Amino acid sequence: MPTINVQMFEGRTLEQKRAFVKAITEAACTTLGSSPESVDVIITDVKKDNWATGGVLWTDKK
């Protein structure tokens, strides 16, 4: 049973998340031979002030 953890910036709509988890689940089933019922996708919405790349918070990027 694959569990897929996704961290992304907050702000996606519910419709976008539905489409995303459907696509991720389909890819896991095709690639791993899993059934859709065995695939878990956990989305963690992260604020830009809680994420940094290269030592710079995303809220500070211009």
**Residue pLDDT, tens place only, 18-50:** 999 999 999 999 999 999 999 999 999 999 999
Q: Is 59 a domain residue? A: no
61, part of any domain? no
Domain containing 14: what range? 3-49
Confidence tier at 62 by pLDDT (50, 70, 90): confident
d(CA 21, CA 48): 22
**Domain-located, residue 23:** yes
Q: Is the pTM of this model over 0.85?
A: yes
For residues 3 and 28, give the distance between their C-alpha atoms in angstroms, rounded to a whole number.
10
> What domain count does the chain have?
1
CA proximity to 12, closest of 21, 25, 24: 21
> Catalytic residue numbers?
2
Contact 2, 42 (CB under 8 A): no
- CA 25 to mean position of chain CA atoms: 11
**pLDDT confidence of residue 36:** 98
Do 35 and 24 touch, CB atoms closer than 8 A? no
Q: What is the mean pLDDT of the chain?
A: 97
In-domain check, residue 27? yes
38 domain residue, yes or no: yes
CATH of the domain at 26: 3.30.429.10
**pLDDT at residue 5 greater than cutoff 90:** yes
